[in-house]
Structure 1
Amino acid sequence: MPPIEYPLINEDSVHIEKLVRQYLPIAPEEVANAVEVPNSKIDGFSSVYRNAYSPDKLLSKPHPSIDSLYKAFHHSVNVRPNGPCFGSRKKLSNGKFGPYVWQDFQTINNRKTNLGSGLFFILQNNPYRSSTDPELDLSYNPLNQDVQSKFIVSLFSHNREEWAIADLACQSYSITNTALYDSLGPDTSRYILNLTKSPVIIASKDKIAGLIKLKEDSPAELQNLIALVSMDPIDEALDANLYVQARNNKISLFDFFQVEKLGAVNPLPHIPPSIDSIYTVSFTSGTTGANPKGVVLEHRQGVSAITFCCSNLRGIEGGVSYAFLPLAHIYERMNLAFALFQGISVGFPQSPSPLTLIDDCKQLRPHYVALVPRVYTKLEAALKSQTVDNDEKPLLKKLFSTAINKKLEWQSEADGSEGKHLVYDKLIGVLAKKIGFDRVVSMTTGSAPISPETLKFLKASLNTGMSQGYGLTESFAGICTSQKYEANPGSCGAISITTEMKLREIPEMNYRATDEGGPRGELLLRGPQIFTHYYKNPEETAKAIDADGWFYTGDVARIDATCGNRLYIIDRVKNFFKLAQGEYITPEKIENTYLSQFPFVQQLYVHGDSLKTFLVGIVGLDPATIDGYISRRFKDKISTKADILDFFKNPDHKRQLLIDMNSSVNGLLQGFERLHNIEVTFDPLRIEDNVVTPTLKIRRPVASKFFKEVHDNLYDEGSLIRKEESKL
């Protein structure tokens, strides 16, 4: 074991805080572009690109002394012990939720220490410990500085303060954790628990019975699971049956508060992690339908992710963040890590339901909001119905249309243009306050493509900037992000200061490093923010990372040489097939183009057959906007989903919808890339059907089988666009 490294001089946390506030974030124009590394181009690849702010080296820490997520959190504990850290809403006697109740940084620090100590206590004194794998070491060893902790803690719930406290407890004792989530299903959860040999799961109470049943059905595979900790109180009398079921399956059952109390009376000193310690194993579902791969993420990648955030985003004093996206996924964990380092208060949703977002925001009034395109498009539709599409109040419609259209015009003049106006900003401020967005200084989006028109409208209508980022589980979320006020939204910005990139040519998909306007090809990443291996999976690791350390993302990108070498994600590798006439089709590119240009559709699955000459598709209508489209196009008023589906069973109506979809992509797709027939429905791509991953990427082999009957019917019906078909 290498010796622990210590600096000669330790800087005071308050001094570090002053440096962070003084020098971060970097000016937007300094990190907005990328540059080529000289003499880095080799055959079959583009040049290597780095951020223009630091072209000669990659950066990995916000400060030399902050080299673990543990130290990042403790920095804020030292600087602002009495500042609000975590906030939650309590359910009132009338069934509604009250205001946010806050716990300060020192309280959270004490609670996670108690929980960590308590976890060791319930495992070391567990009556079923002897039934676990002999290689599973549950002992407490304060000298343990191994990269891999001896056991893995599993977390399973929607976003709540107990989830985050458990995560911090693991950091404090160099324990690796992993996350389960509902969309995995019992088979995949069983696979993860068996692979990791996880001895304890910390879960919300509603998951406990299902987890006990999981072990009951697979006692050999889950022999190591000997403890469950409920995040909610458990009553020995009311929940006696749960205790009996747990004992019958060799599981000790506790609630969160019991474990905290046990830790408080049996305290253990922290075992601080090193920069190489494994923080989490984040399981990511692939698009093939196979078992998920466990992405091993060290504290090194976590601190690099904080560095990426700090370079682009200011942590304002007294700032509040809304932890809406699932903490089981890496996007929200990056947001949480940044917030805790910068001393930003984190408010948690009142429930697992996404429908409570606006109600929470009205109470929380966050400064930082990170959502996904699906949520933003619904927000866009709701705002439009109150403003530019508000036919019931023509005066209000005219006022907001004038203000929003002028801001759209001004914000498109140049990068960085905020389009501020004394009168219009006050009017728009009323709208933002109505939904709790009046203090927002940062809106970010990621995980899937978003329409540039949505970005433009939300910036103008909410009077704030908005960034689109790109990242993966393997990169600890974001490794690039656009400027908040990008004149022509659509890019993911320049590669960040923590990572370098290059593109691999894909001749069979006609993507080359010499393409006009900038290279195109598979995106490759390297740097301190990029993972090093998959958990217990050397075969997949060897496929993903080459001998020089480049990670092959599987995403196809374009680098815009005409605009600062900014990055655009345009396709997926291997997502292509050939039609009967010999044309190659890349369905993801086609889907993204339709979705970005035709806002009345929120899901699309494009399918082709090598024996056919045209494409068919399954369309998922956007319930928030489709009635407006029907009203304007067909002069008909329909509101219920059932009536809308009946409406589009009419071949003339379906054909007109398809014509409008194809018109929206004029100049962007060639004739053979356009759809010729469609199935119209709502929400066809559901996680529970296994046709999409939890991050909503289409599992094409699975989807092709699942929708086979639909595809056959569409091809039997034939092309609805006869004139276009004749051009093929």
Structure 2
Amino acid sequence: MASQNENGFTEETLRRIWKYNFVLPDGINENTSPFDTTLSSHAAQGKPQALPVPGTKQPGYSEIYRNQCSPDKVISGYHPSVKTFYDAFLTVATTYPKRDCIADREYDQKLKKWGNYKWLSFEETAKRRTKIAAGLVHAVRKATGFDPADKKYIVSVYAPNCVNWILTDLACQTQSLPTVCLYDTLGPHTSEYILNLCESPIVVCSLANVPRILSLKHKLPHVKVIVSTNSFESVPGQFEPAGQSKKELLNVWANDQGVALYSLNEIEALGADFPIADRPPKPEDIYAINFTSGTTGNPKGAILTHANVVAAIAMGRHCLGKNFKPDQVATVYSFLPLAHIYERIAMCIIMSLGHRQAYPHGPVTEIFEDIQILKPTNVNMVPRVLNRVAAALRASTIEAPGLAGAISRKAHEAKLNHLYATGSPNHPIWDFLWSRKIRKKLGFDNLNSLVSGSAPLSKATVEFLKVALAAELLQGYGLTESMSGISVSQPEEPLAGSCGAVAPTTELRFRDVPELGYTANDKPFPRGEIMLRGPQMFTGYYKNNEKTLEAFDEDGWFHTGDVGTVDKLGRIFIIDRVKNFFKLSQGEYVAAEKIENTYLANSSLITQIFVHGDSTESYLVAIAGINPDSYATLANKVLHKRIRPTDLAALAATYDVPEVKAAFIKALNGSTGNLLQGFEKIKNVLLRFEPLTPENDTLTPTLKIKRPAAVKLFKAEIDAMYKEGPLSDSGALNSTPKL
């Protein structure tokens, strides 16, 4: 495994990377409880949350912004005894050994159904991770001769969220072994690229992924051990002829490929027979290499250290501390992929505070079955899910006919006015009469807060969900390279839409982007590319000096590629992307991502949209993924039909009807008000249900649009839209077509 100096980084590249320095908030010492989340004070409501540092403005750049609670220094930790994630987990396991830690649902073979969650305590988790660590080390040593005491290697993990994923991650930390994650939507070529780049000798994966790795083995010279997170045991009562069990068949295949095959249970038993002492990591040691899903070319592996993790935990404690009290154990549902840094750091934050988290039993379409059983207090979400939840709730409440709809509209109006006046999503009367029923229906009986990341949510959606669920909905901003979030909006903010202020663990400034018309001198507040620096920032791209050097400027500031601004409170707003722009035939420059985000943030008609323009054309077209609930209402109104939102086949029959498309364009453009200029609004559209997916290679695994791939896939449809010409958005034909 390559260290930073072995990555081929030049002296200039190393000079630009943040140097580790352990800095604590004022007033923290050995006598401070490591579970106290009240030490980083939030600004009072209406007071600045982040401040420009006087005297730091330079030509082409804004002043440097820091959090108001630490304007003189950037924080990198939260307690003197915790300098690695290994320390953080050990602190909890020794302080609260009997507390619940992690859980999966059990499958009842007799009833053929999933049952309740089965919890492991922190003490049980600690014991199992130690045995698994010893087993992993023994298996790799036997297959390769490698020993982490002499040669650190990278453990690859290729499995969905589950208890065994967490146990593997914690086990690797006891031996200072970094991990790298693979996931289904990467595809075989990218998985092959990552495994070979990292020279990983071992892959811990789900049983379903064992054949995928074995089928690639002839291209993976470094892989010598495969560990299944699932048991190989047959279902009780199921007959399997001798020599034809899963384990026997896979063993034959593995032996042919020169691979040792184990289940995680076998690894744990091996570790019990051959125990080894912990080799704790140092802050500078690599915790993980997280590959960013680039929209073109091979992904880049962001090197993330234990120091980065601790800084990110400190960020989470500052931003989310009000929602996680030390004496009130939170129950967190973790369904977003742990392979992505957003959910992984959420796991680290929750675990460091001694709270418990549980994992899904199956696909994302069944998460609310889990939620009904678990009744979580906190859930990490993404707009793709929240938009659907909001649309379904609107349809059954404030958009419903009759008395139920009237009561819902009255409750919604009263709670919304209360939210604007106080910032609180709670209401003394309507929480009990209205929100309580909604929460119970979803399994959110105990819900405290939701956190959303990865893309913007509309102001209307944030406000509706806050009042309907009587819970906080917080939005954050961050990247893989910043160890996830560097900001999260505060609870009880009356006005929705921001990503909150930069946390005490990072500093921020804006760089002029004159080609897009953004400058640090813009009024009333600076606008430009967001530049980040501090202890949360990654320490380079694995074995990629060129991209690392490009990522940081001479003063160590990281180029995010995101264009943003702040308001009078210092809260961050994302408004554009640096590179996603093109020129139309009449000379106007168009920023596609800004337009897409504007549509997504202001219209409930869509769940995704890809805006396209061409230098030979004078207007924009789009590929839009419809939100069935809102779209059905529009289509039914135009066509005088009664199509149910769940009848996707009937909805699909309306997608190409000119009257529907025209009404859709009118409603979509109308939702943006004056946020878009005329040439920035689409004039024709292709309607589909989820046209953009990782499976058709138009989305990255983190759901960013791969523009060249999308243009290639939809070339015929784009050409047809331009041939059809601009659709009227002011009215439809007089006659109603028969479907």
TM-score by length of 2: 0.90
**Aligned partner of 1:108: which letter?**
T
1:285 counterpart residue number: 293
Q: Structure 1 residue aligned with 2:225, among 224, 227, 232?
A: 227
Which of 101, 122, 125 does residue 85 from structure 1 map onto? 101
CA displacement at 1:270 relative to structure 2: 0.5
1:98 is matched with which residue: 105, 115, 136? 115
Report what 1:134 is aligned to.
none
State the 1:233 CA deviation.
1.1
Bigger shift: residues 363-372 or 243-252: 363-372
The Cα shift of 1:387 comes to 1.7
**CA apart distance, 1:21:** 2.9
Amino acid at match of 1:621: I
Percent identity reads 39
Q: Distance in 2 between matches of 1:90 and 1:32?
A: 48
Match of 1:646 among 628, 645, 653: 653
Matched residue of 1:202: which SS? strand
Q: What is the aligned counterpart of 1:123 among 137, 140, 154?
A: 140
Of 397, 404, 407, which residue of structure 1 is paired with 2:412? 404
- Does the CA contact (< 8 Å) of 1:58 and 1:498 recur in 2? yes
Q: In the alignment, what sits opposite 2:539?
A: 532
- Tell me: CA distance 1:157–1:28, structure 2 relative to 1, closer, same or farther (3 Å): farther
Q: Deviations over 1:466-485 (max 9, x none)?
A: 10000000011110011122
Partner of 2:202: 200
The verdict on how the C-alpha distance between 1:14 and 1:671 changes in structure 2, with shifts beyond 3 A counting, is: closer
Write out per-residue CA displacement over residues 164-220 of structure 1, whole angstroms, 9 at most, x where no aligned residue. Answer: 11000111110010000000000000000000000001011011011101113x2xx
Moved more, 67-76 or 359-368: 359-368
Change (3 A) 1:390 1:541: same
Alpha-carbon deviation of 1:275?
0.7
SS in 1 for 2:403: helix
Q: Deviations over 1:517-565 (max 9, x none)?
A: 21111110000001120000000001101221100001111122xx312
User: Which whole-Å CA distance do the structure 1 matches of 2:729 and 2:626 have between them?
Assistant: 24
Q: How far off is 1:32 after superposition?
A: 6.2
Inter-partner Cα distance in structure 1 for 2:152 and 2:281: 13
Which residue does 1:44 correspond to in 2?
60
* Cα distance, 1:603 vs structure 2: 1.1
Cα 1:17–1:248 shift into 2, 3 Å? farther
Instruction: Return closer, same or farther for 1:107/1:675 CA change in 2, 3 Å cut-off.
Output: same
**Matched residue of 2:258: which SS?**
coil
Give the aligned partner of residue 36 of structure 2: 21
Find the counterpart in structure 2 of residue 721 from structure 1: 728
- Counterparts of residues 638-677 of structure 1 (less than 5 Å): 638-639=643-644, 640-677=647-684
Distance in structure 2 (CA, Å) of the matches to 1:197 and 1:210: 18
Aligned pair partner of 2:581 in 566, 569, 576: 576
Flag the 1:584–1:310 CA change in 2: closer, same or farther, 3 A.
same
What is the root-mean-square deviation of aligned Cα atoms in Å? 2.1
8 A contact 1:28–1:483 mirrored in 2: no
Distance, in Å, in 2 between the alignment partners of 1:44 and 1:657 is: 41
Q: Distance in 1 between matches of 2:34 and 2:208?
A: 45
Map of 1:537-686 to 2, 5 A cutoff?
537-560=544-567, 563-632=568-637, 634-639=639-644, 640-686=647-693
Q: Which runs of no fewer than 5 residues in structure 2 stay unpaired?
A: 4-19, 23-27, 234-242, 732-739
Letter aligned with residue 186 of structure 2: L
Q: Which residue of 2 aligns with 1:331?
A: 342
Question: How do residues 34-183 of structure 1 correspond to structure 2 at under 5 angstroms?
Answer: 34-92=50-108, 93-126=110-143, 129=144, 138-141=146-149, 150-183=152-185
CA distance in 1, matches of 2:445, 2:306: 35
Contact 1:26-1:312 within 8 A present in 2 as well: no
**8 A Cα contact 2:43 2:49, kept in partner:** no
Q: 1:10 matched to which residue of 2?
A: none
SS in 2 for 1:625: helix
Distance 1:22 1:582, change over 3 A: closer
Deviations 1:484-537 (A, max 9, x none): 222121110111110000111011111111112211111100000011200000
Q: Are residues 1:478 and 2:488 paired?
A: no
Q: Deviations over 1:271-330 (max 9, x none)?
A: 111111100000111122x10000000001101110011112233322111111100000
- Of 370, 374, 378, the match for 2:384: 374
Distance (Å, rounded) in 2 between the aligned partners of 1:73 and 1:472: 24
C-alpha distance in 2 between matches for 1:98 and 1:723: 53
Query: 1:275–1:642: structure 2 CA closer, same or farther, 3 Å change rule?
Result: same
- Give me the whole-angstrom Cα distance separating, in 2, the residues matched to 1:265 and 1:519: 62
Amino acid in structure 2 at the alignment position of 1:396: A
Whole-Å separation in 1 of the counterparts to 2:380 and 2:685: 33
Between 1:610-619 and 1:19-28, the stretch displaced more is 19-28
Q: Secondary structure at the match of 1:404?
A: helix
Partner of 2:6 in structure 1? none
Which segment drifts farther, 459-468 or 619-628? 619-628
SS at match of 2:36: helix
1:360 aligned to 2:360? no
Match of 1:132 in 2: none
Matched letter for residue 123 of structure 2: Q
Residue 422 and residue 646 in structure 1: after superposition, are their counterparts in 2 closer, same or farther (change >3 A)?
A: closer
What is the total number of aligned residue pairs between the two structures?
A: 689
Q: 1:16: Cα distance to partner? A: 6.2
Residues 459, 241 of structure 1: alpha-carbon distance in 2 compared, 3 angstrom cutoff: same
Give the CA deviation at 1:721: 3.4
Change (3 A) 1:79 1:692: same
CA contact (8 A) 1:24 1:310 kept: no
Residue 734 of structure 2 corresponds to which residue in structure 1? none
Quote the Cα distance in structure 1 between the aligned partners of 2:527 and 2:343. Answer: 29
Residue of structure 2 equivalent to 1:213: 215
The 1-side partners of 2:267 and 2:674 are apart by 62
- Does the 8 A contact of 1:124 with 1:138 survive in 2? yes
Change (3 A) 1:343 1:471: same
Q: Which amino acid aligns with 1:96?
A: K
Is 1:25–1:311's contact at 8 Å kept on the other side of the alignment? yes
